[in-house]
Amino acid sequence: MLWWQNIPFFSIILFLLCAALSSVLRHRAARNLTLGLLGLCLGFSAVLLIRVSLPEYTTFTFMMGHFPAPWGNEIRCGPLEALLAAVFSFIMLMALSGGDIRLEEHLGADRENLYYVVCDLVMAALLSQVYSNDLFTSYVFLEIMTLAACALIVSRTRGRTLVSAMRYMVLNLVGSGLFLLGLVLLYDQTGHLLMENLGDAVFSLYLTGLSRRPLVVCVALMSIGLCVKSALFPFHTWVPDAYAHGTPSSNAILSSLVSKGYIVLLMKLYCRVFGWDLILTSGIDRLLMVFALSGMIMGSLRAWRETHMNPMVAWSSVSQIGYIYLGISLGFGVGYTAAIFHLMVHAAAKSALFLTGDRLRVVSGHSSHFGDLRGAGRKAPLAGAAWTAAAFSMVGLPFTGGLISKILLEQETLRHSPLVAAAATAVLALSTLLNVMYFLRAVIQIWAPPREEERKALPRPGLPFALAALGLTAMTLGLFFFSAPLLNLISAGLALFI
């Protein structure tokens, strides 16, 4: 085993250790430890990515213990997993460093370190979803992510966040219950928990033709469970309140990262466990497509009606999750590549929107109503520019990553049946139009000349905020300019993902 093949394992374990340690440290120490570990993880994931991609794409497994799988646990890493780990650590680093460091007013003086404990647990759970090769391990870390994300929602404890946290927990627990039931049924039929063995057993069961219905039931239960947890329409009702009213870091982490872990697990299930033949037989791809297309329209319509910035951005998340699921339903290959690319685009843009949006709100007299945000961009140019770039990416304008994923999705829909192509194209066009309407409306409002020329002393942004805003904008632009090598990497990684 080469030294860099230990990186996935160490990433997960170090975050778990850091979570336990942060619970006894003070606020500053916990924050520095978490940020340091995130930087370390980012660096090592980049090294790992280089090692598994050059000179050729390889994948390896790491045996957790002295017993080979299926008797022991196992994690697996290839180019795609390394890329996702690097992206997630980068986004989390930017979100935490760019957010409000003063948590006392939200949490209370001796509880601030718990915020970083929870962030470490979210990161450990995310990495585990990316790397894990065992279904039950994925379920356990799924639950960690659910509980830790609930803590992020109530980090700013108001009535609204409590209600949204309750709604979030109810829906997420229904999703977990359905997922666990599907897992139990799958174990009953195959006797395996390791994904590769599961895939072989499911494939041989599928070929016999006898036992299709239980397999289809498993596919349905696990897919619906994960769709509920990742807030696909019509299971999105908890999203706007949960995403919009926490601290800026919480909003960024929740919208960019938490739902993505579930989507990565779903893709892994479809690739490694179920196989595309079973997915097509069950018809779940058509159901996902219907939900995705409806979500794209519904999310955008509701976002258009919002008059405050954060709820508008939260509703647009519902729409963007629809794009990712459209990619998944279009099939293994270009569809999945587009889904993963849009996952990264959305993660970067949403974090930027929430972090810089908070700064715009601060310079507008602490109001996030669009009427009061007029001219905010001129008072805080860095935040305004970053918000604008992220908004353009969500719309899909040139020079931002969002354009690439929309082009890919459109190209792939044209290869399907005429009905699918027509419906998807119409919905993509309508959704883009709606995105333009509400995002550009907001951008114009931000850059319009402010109403009164007041020379109030505005709080200056700190260096971490400036670096976070620049970093996220760089990622948004970089996803466009480096799209070709990235797409190659993703496709090659997907081929090895199975």
Ranges within 207-246 binding other proteins (CB under 8 A): 211, 213-214, 217
Q: Residues 14-53: x/- map of binding to other proteins (CB under 8 A)?
A: --xx-xxx-xx-----------------------------
Q: What is the dihedral of CA 432, 437, 440, 441, to 10 degrees?
A: -170
The reply to whether 448 sits near other proteins by the rule CB under 8 A is no
Q: Does 203 bind other proteins (CB under 8 A)?
A: no
Output 29 or 470, the one with its CB closest to other proteins.
29
- Nearer residue to other proteins within complex by CB, 96 or 338: 96
- State in angstroms the smallest separation of the CB of 276 from other proteins: 22
Q: Is 147 in the site for other proteins (CB under 8 A)?
A: yes
What Cα–Cα distance (Å) separates residue 149 from each residue in 35, 126, 136, 194, 324?
A: 18, 11, 20, 27, 21
Q: Which position among 50, 54, 163, 414 is part of the footprint of other proteins (CB under 8 A)?
A: 163
Tokens, residue 398: 């040139």
Q: Decide: is 187 part of the binding site for other proteins (CB under 8 A).
A: yes
Q: Which stretch binds other proteins (CB under 8 A): 76-84, 86-94, 206-214, 413-421?
A: 206-214
The answer to whether the bond into 234 is cis (omega within 30° of 0) is: yes
In whole angstroms, what is the distance from residue 353 CA to residue 472 CA? 10
d(CA 112, CA 123): 18
Half-sphere exposure of residue 266: CA atoms within 13 angstroms, side-chain side: 34
Check binding of 169 to other proteins (CB under 8 A): yes
**Positions in 81-110 near other proteins (CB under 8 A):** 104-110
Neighbour-count burial of 160, counting CB atoms closer than 10 A to its CB (0-12 exposed, 13-18 middle, 19+ buried): middle
Rule CB under 8 A: say whether 366 interacts with other proteins. Answer: yes
142 vs 475 by CB, closer to other proteins: 142
Query: Is the Cβ–Cβ distance between 297 and 344 less than 8 Å?
Result: no
Please, what is the minimum distance in Å from the beta carbon of residue 202 to other proteins? 11
Among candidates 239, 106, 107, which has minimal Cα distance to 172? 239
Nearest distance, CB of residue 65 and other proteins, angstroms: 4
Least Å distance, CB 210 to other proteins, is 8
Q: How far is the CB of 106 from other proteins (least distance, A)?
A: 7
Which residue bears the tokens 């706007």? 240
Q: Which stretch binds other proteins (CB under 8 A): 118-126, 318-326, 338-346, 377-385?
A: 118-126
Site string for other proteins, 389-428 (x = CB under 8 A): ----------------------------------------
DSSP state for residue 461 in the 8-state scheme: P
What letter does residue 473 receive in the DSSP assignment? H
| Amino acid identity for residue 231 in this structure | A
To other proteins, the closest distance from the beta carbon of 52 in angstroms equals 16
Q: Does 192 bind other proteins (CB under 8 A)?
A: yes
Binding status of residue 184 toward other proteins by CB under 8 A: yes
Q: Is 58 in the site for other proteins (CB under 8 A)?
A: no
Site size toward other proteins (CB under 8 A) is 86
| DSSP letter string, 350-410 | HHHHHHHHHHHHHHTTS--BTTTTTTHHHHSHHHHHHHHHHHHHHHT-TTSHHHHHHHHHH
